[in-house]
Chains A and B, each alone.
Chain A
Amino acid sequence: MSLLFAATGLIGGMSTVFTTVWSFFSQAPYFREERFMASRGWRLVYAAGLIVGAFLWLAAFGEPFRTQVPAWQLAAGGFLAGFGARLSNGCTAGHGICGMASLQPPSILAVVIFLATAMATARLVGAFA
């Protein structure tokens, strides 16, 4: 994110790409707002970069890994995380790294809140699993 900032001035949150991909398929006015239309190209490239980088790690040092987390948890958790991150306009990257690094009070508070609810949820799931 430091490289992205120095090179392009962009703020490299991650969750916005899930909103901007819909601008290619949906005519709903929200997805066609200027801030999404203007950034949808580089956000896709940024996401592609993530896959490339992780693959380079795999090729150099890693061994393939498959998660054992049950599919329903991945599906339901993913849905809630996607909905919440977009409502909040930030995730672990946007609020957690970019927002905290620019010392923004709403982001810092958001991080405290999502860490708390995530820890509580993980405990709750652990108790029943």
Chain B
Amino acid sequence: MKLGALFFVLASGALFGFGLALSTMVKPEVVISFLLWRDMGLLLVLGGAVVVTFVAYRVVPRVLRKPWAGAEFQRHPSEMSARTLGGAAIFGIGWGLCGVCPGPAIAGLGTGNWPLLIALAGLIAGAYVQGRFFGTRSR
């Protein structure tokens, strides 16, 4: 990937990380109180992110022939399968247990929340077990 594109990747990641910190989603306590229906603020965060991204996914490919620094617009590949849905169920159990999902686990480190390293180690270990023993050669 060209340097210019990587700059945009870094900037997009920074914007995402800033947003996760600003919206307090990097705090597991806030996530857990959302899951317990005590503080529904994160619903607005997720909803807002979906609406903005929805508009971008629709509008940008009509306005631009191709991305500023890329070859083509890609699509998120999701398939209706037992893996997708079963994996989501397991993911939810883990998320409900610790209040940490992948984005905040990484971004939270930038706010000095060091205990998140434990969750990050768990996430990376979980990805290893999935890939090593349950990975499929497809797509």
Interface residues of A (CB under 8 A from B): 1-15, 17-19, 21-22, 26, 28-31, 33, 35, 41-42, 45-58, 61-62, 64-69, 71, 73-107, 109-111, 113-126
Interface pair A49/B74, CB less than 8 Å apart: no
Q: Which residue of B lies closest to A23 (CB)?
A: B131
Task: Indicate the size class of the contact surface on chain B.
Answer: 35 or more
The total number of A-B Cβ pairs within 8 Å is: 454
Say whether B120 contacts A109, CB under 8 Å: no
Contact sample, A vs B, 5 pairs, CB 8 Å cutoff: A18-B127, A30-B136, A81-B122, A86-B126, A97-B53
Cα–Cα distance between A17 and B79 once the two chains are bound (Å): 20
Q: Is the interface of A mostly helix, strand, loop or mixed?
A: helix
For the residues of B in contact with A, the DSSP-based class is helix
Closest A residue to B4 using CB positions: A7
A118 vs B87: C-alpha distance when bound (angstroms): 13
* Contact in complex: B126, A71 (CB < 8 Å): no
- Could you tell me if B18 and A84 are in contact, using CB atoms closer than 8 angstroms? no
CB-contacts of B76-97 with A (<8 A):
76-81, 83-97
Cβ A92 vs Cβ B122 within 8 A = no
Chain B residues with Cβ below 8 Å from A76 are 94, 97-98, 122
Q: Which of B84, B110, B112 contacts A50 (CB 8 A)?
A: B110
B132 (CB) vs chain A CBs: closest residue: A28
